[in-house]
Structure 1
Amino acid sequence: MSVLIAGAGPTGLTLAIDLARRGLAVRLIDKAAEYFNGSRGDGLQPRTLEIFDDLGVIDEVLRQGRSMPLMKIYMSGELFGERRMAEIAEPTPDVPYPNAWMLGQSRTEKILRDKLSEYGVQVELDTAIVGFTQDENSVTAELSTGETVEAEYLVGADGGRSFVRKHLGIAFEGTTDESIRTLLGDVAADGLDHEFGYWFAAKDNPMSGIAMTPLAGGDQFQFGAPLDSDDADTSIEALQALVDKFAGPGVAKLRDLTWSTVWRPNVRLAERFRVGRVFIAGDAAHVHPPTGGQGLNTGVQDAYNLGWKLADDREEVLATYETERRTNAARVLGISEELMQKHVEGDESAMERGENTRQLDVSYRDLADTRPIVAGDRAPDAPLVDAEGNKTSLFDLFRGPHQTLLRFSPTTPSTDEHTVDIGRDGSAAYTSPEAFAHYHAQDGDEILVRSDGYLA
């Protein structure tokens, strides 16, 4: 089977890795002439970290990134206090990555590209889709290079201005608020301690100010500041003028501006995520305000949900992609919009991040089913000990493109590689009282875990 993916951002890269490790033929193209070099989506949520663990890139993500910084808050030039967007949580047996992790998007993409290359797949830059047709068996795409490509499936992960979505005629419903504009940039700042984040504002307007968030892997900060509606200057001089205005002259000297842009609140959701053999994912299907750090993470989850379904290639399975992911995207857009509205209204709680932004509560369950854990819920981790006393975990055994059958206190042992027999006291291949607790399991229960880490 072959799949053509348009768009080599985090969504397209995640999907390409997942398909390649399953042995599918993958081509990943991107219309850009060179790789993106900026922070943009720099917050990786805990559920994304779990996905990156499964894909084999978590060690590099953790090595190159950093935890959420403590923010120093200055009001009219005086230190007002310190706060974190979210309290630091300790790992638990069922949640090994409880906290968001900071890593600039370009660094995340580089890690994913390196992993993809291990499967012999390279991103084809300066290559765009300019047209396509489909029938019941395949998709035929015309590329900007003049090549014609035939594949069983096409996935548009080509951003908010997605050609694939537009060519399909899918409505992209939502709003763009031109009255709110934010200047973003990656820049070094002499005079600021890179171990901390900063918020500079005036006492009489505390929620309108400059955010300076330290980026991992160097001395740059991600800069964010409000703009007047008619201002589009993204130069370092414009950034410096805003720093001087909000923080005071001489507080920080900016240098080495490597990326900047003007952002407008754009909240949209595609009417459909699929037409026949063509799918859309990531920003092509939903665009978010940056509040809450949900956009990149939701796109990665789209890809992780779609990969195994494309490999399965059954209509009843493929049909669940839109059902599961569009519903979730609508929910996440609501979270992002609520935080954005709080910020506009000057509500200080807009700077706080709760459990709902970590995406560990994403579920595809039947909402009428009130049992504590059911089909569609995230499969929790749990520590395991084998008969020789060796320690491992459920996530270690889930890792890979397979599904896993959990059997709790089975009467006979299994010899299947991806069946995990769990007992309470050494009576099975693995012992884990925690697994019984996290899965609310009884002796004799069997639970199938999908390859994307959700209960079947």
Structure 2
Amino acid sequence: MTNVVIVGAGPTGLTLACGLARQGVAVRVLERATAHADGSRGKTLNPRSLEIFADLGLAGELAAVGRTHLPFRKYFEGVFVNETEPFAGARRSATIPYPASRWLQQPQLEALLRERLAALGVTVELGADLVDVRQDADGAEAVLADGRRIAAGYLVGCDGGRSTVRKLLGIPFVGEGDPEPVMVCGDVEVEGLDPGAWHQWFGPQGAFMLCPFEGSPRWQLQASPETAADGTMVPPSLESFQRLADTHTGREDIRLGNATWLSTWRVNVRMAERYREGRVLLAGDCAHVHPTAGGLGMNTGIQDSWNLAWKLGHVVRGLAGPALLDTYQEERLPIAAWTLDVTSAGMAAVVKGIDTPGIGVEVGGVGDFTGLSLGYRWSSLAAGTPAGGDPGALLRAGDRAPDGPCPGPDGAPGRLFERFAGDDFTLLVLGAGTRPDLAGLPGHVRPVRVEDRDGEVRRAYGVTGEALVLVRPDNHIALVTPATEPGPVHAYLARLGATG
């Protein structure tokens, strides 16, 4: 029997599979499609997702694809108005290694994740069509259309907004949606445009946008639908796309070709009522869908998986009790609710701006679309206040743990994120003279002494003097306590069931 079955091989399912397989958890990934999807689909990884993939060992591979800076070139009724670049001033800092999003095609990311997963001994199983999910107190079972039954300790649905897993569980998908398509999408090749910018035409007739991809002839097209004489929507096609281009740009030199991934998009703002039913859990679009504003869809699913992977892995490995899985919904459902709110507000801002010269899709970024400020201060896993007991400190338990300098034992340069990488808790011992009694720490908690003579790391973490900072495997702060009081660290770990 495998430990975990994952249904769905998009970014959410693949991230979860990598996070589990890296821990030695036996995992199987089932994908209903008989071939890997090729449409460009999601096209940005925000800074928080880039940190996650760096932890998974993909920093170098991702740096070789896509781009980090993409100007937004905006037109109104066919006339150029201005050009902006959301991350023009973004610079790497001591605490933020990835200050800008990376633009790439979703299939590029999925291919890298499958390669990483294969290196961990797991291959995606194509043509595995799930038709039923059964479970009892001891495990779950995936029933496939070809009659196969796959037993597992847990099953996770990562199978998208129309999730079979969620429907089989009978979990309500609460919210609302527009029954009519509000956008047509596709991948096309383009002649006559500079591939160094995302071209966005707005005006009374709606929106028409062409986004290029670095090192590829493919552009992603998004546009208000073409309407037939009888008022019905014209289905997406190369011919329809060309007519839309002619209408919105007013130019005859822009020619489109090789149209693929023809699709329509409807506004849906929905969230699963719960993320867990016994030994079955939901993640990504299976648990929440929302407007495209801010590019948070793929990133939110990836970050769901990052939260779930260490918890499910620790439970399977016997390092924590099953109650730890309850904190997955506790932490991620409020993030989904926030995402639905900010993307809805962002989409409303974009729609309102269609009739305003100089407005582009950046007005949809009404919240933190970097993901760096999102944390879990409300969580039962966020223990107490920062060192010194200051409840007004900028950084608190539940927040993302910042990066910072952390030389190795031999004095060689290093970074905190390099020390965090992996599946263990990290216990930062801050202060040149700090020598607390750390006897009895479980084997999956690694102490890291940070001399921090100039106080740079302590300032980043909002602590004074000498302190202990316990960082979770997903790089969020569990607790901060004075170095002279290591007892809270032991108590925290014991509460999770991590006693040895």
Deviates more, 1:211-220 or 1:339-348: 339-348
The equivalent of 1:429 in structure 2 is none
The equivalent of 1:420 in structure 2 is 448
- Correspondence 1:290-329 to 2 at 5 A: 290-313=292-315, 314-329=321-336
Residues 74 and 360 of structure 2 are in contact (CA less than 8 Å); yes or no, is this contact kept in structure 1?
Answer: no
TM-superposed CA distance for 1:14, in Å, is 0.2
Take 1:181 and 1:451, find their aligned partners in 2: how far apart are those partners?
Answer: 40
The equivalent of 2:273 in structure 1 is 271
Deviates more, 1:310-319 or 1:12-21: 310-319
Residues 200 and 210 of structure 1 are in contact (CA less than 8 Å); yes or no, is this contact kept in structure 2?
Answer: yes
Take 1:341 and 1:74, find their aligned partners in 2: how far apart are those partners?
Answer: 19
Take 2:238 and 2:110, find their aligned partners in 1: how far apart are those partners?
Answer: 25
Tell me the alpha carbon deviations over residues 81-102 of structure 1, each in whole angstroms, 9 at most, x when there is no partner: 2112444410111010011110
Tell me the alpha carbon deviations over residues 333-392 of structure 1, each in whole angstroms, 9 at most, x when there is no partner: 111100111122227375233661111111100399543222211000001234644111
Tell me the alpha carbon deviations over residues 246-281 of structure 1, each in whole angstroms, 9 at most, x when there is no partner: 012413111122222111111110000001100000
Query: Which residue, out of 429, 434, 437, partners 2:459?
Result: 437
TM-superposed CA distance for 1:239, in Å, is 0.5
Letter in 2 for 1:437: R
Take 2:451 and 2:75, find their aligned partners in 1: how far apart are those partners?
Answer: 55
SS in 1 for 2:224: strand
The equivalent of 2:218 in structure 1 is 220
SS in 2 for 1:145: coil
Deviates more, 1:291-300 or 1:66-75: 66-75
Take 1:130 and 1:272, find their aligned partners in 2: how far apart are those partners?
Answer: 21
Take 2:459 and 2:135, find their aligned partners in 1: how far apart are those partners?
Answer: 48
Letter in 2 for 1:97: Y
Q: Does 1:211 align with 2:209?
A: yes
SS in 2 for 1:345: helix
Deviates more, 1:285-294 or 1:411-420: 411-420
The equivalent of 1:178 in structure 2 is 179
TM-superposed CA distance for 1:436, in Å, is 0.9
- Correspondence 1:26-105 to 2 at 5 A: 26-105=27-106
- Correspondence 1:234-383 to 2 at 5 A: 234-313=236-315, 314-346=321-353, 348=359, 351-352=362-363, 353=365, 356-366=368-378, 370-383=392-405
Residues 69 and 214 of structure 1 are in contact (CA less than 8 Å); yes or no, is this contact kept in structure 2?
Answer: no
Letter in 2 for 1:334: D
SS in 1 for 2:456: helix
Residue ranges of structure 1 left out of the alignment (5+ in a row) = 426-431
State the number of aligned residues.
Answer: 447
The equivalent of 1:428 in structure 2 is none
Take 1:258 and 1:337, find their aligned partners in 2: how far apart are those partners?
Answer: 28
Take 2:68 and 2:416, find their aligned partners in 1: how far apart are those partners?
Answer: 25
TM-superposed CA distance for 1:232, in Å, is 4.2
Take 1:401 and 1:439, find their aligned partners in 2: how far apart are those partners?
Answer: 21
SS in 1 for 2:293: coil
179 and 144 in structure 1: CA distance in 2 versus 1, 3 angstrom threshold: closer
Residues 309 and 317 of structure 1 are in contact (CA less than 8 Å); yes or no, is this contact kept in structure 2?
Answer: yes
SS in 1 for 2:477: coil
Tell me the alpha carbon deviations over residues 211-254 of structure 1, each in whole angstroms, 9 at most, x when there is no partner: 11111331221111101473142111111110000012413111
Letter in 1 for 2:279: R
Take 1:32 and 1:73, find their aligned partners in 2: how far apart are those partners?
Answer: 37
Letter in 1 for 2:246: D
Take 1:42 and 1:405, find their aligned partners in 2: how far apart are those partners?
Answer: 35
Residues 291 and 344 of structure 2 are in contact (CA less than 8 Å); yes or no, is this contact kept in structure 1?
Answer: yes
Take 1:331 and 1:255, find their aligned partners in 2: how far apart are those partners?
Answer: 39
Deviates more, 1:258-267 or 1:75-84: 75-84
Take 1:182 and 1:154, find their aligned partners in 2: how far apart are those partners?
Answer: 34
Query: Which residue, out of 404, 413, 417, partners 1:395?
Result: 417
SS in 2 for 1:443: coil
Take 2:360 and 2:456, find their aligned partners in 1: how far apart are those partners?
Answer: 35
Tell me the alpha carbon deviations over residues 36-87 of structure 1, each in whole angstroms, 9 at most, x when there is no partner: 1011110111100000000111211121111241122223333222112444
SS in 1 for 2:209: strand
The equivalent of 1:154 in structure 2 is 155
Tell me the alpha carbon deviations over residues 314-345 of structure 1, each in whole angstroms, 9 at most, x when there is no partner: 22211100010111110011111001111222
Letter in 2 for 1:446: L
SS in 1 for 2:291: coil
Residue ranges of structure 2 left out of the alignment (5+ in a row) = 316-320, 380-384, 386-390, 479-500
Deviates more, 1:77-86 or 1:321-330: 77-86
241 and 400 in structure 1: CA distance in 2 versus 1, 3 angstrom threshold: same
Deviates more, 1:143-152 or 1:350-359: 350-359
Query: Which residue, out of 459, 465, 474, partners 1:452?
Result: 474
Q: Matched residues, percent identical? A: 38
Deviates more, 1:4-13 or 1:345-354: 345-354
Residues 76 and 202 of structure 2 are in contact (CA less than 8 Å); yes or no, is this contact kept in structure 1?
Answer: yes
> Under a length normalisation based on structure 1, what TM-score does the superposition of the two structures give?
0.93
SS in 2 for 1:134: strand
442 and 184 in structure 1: CA distance in 2 versus 1, 3 angstrom threshold: same
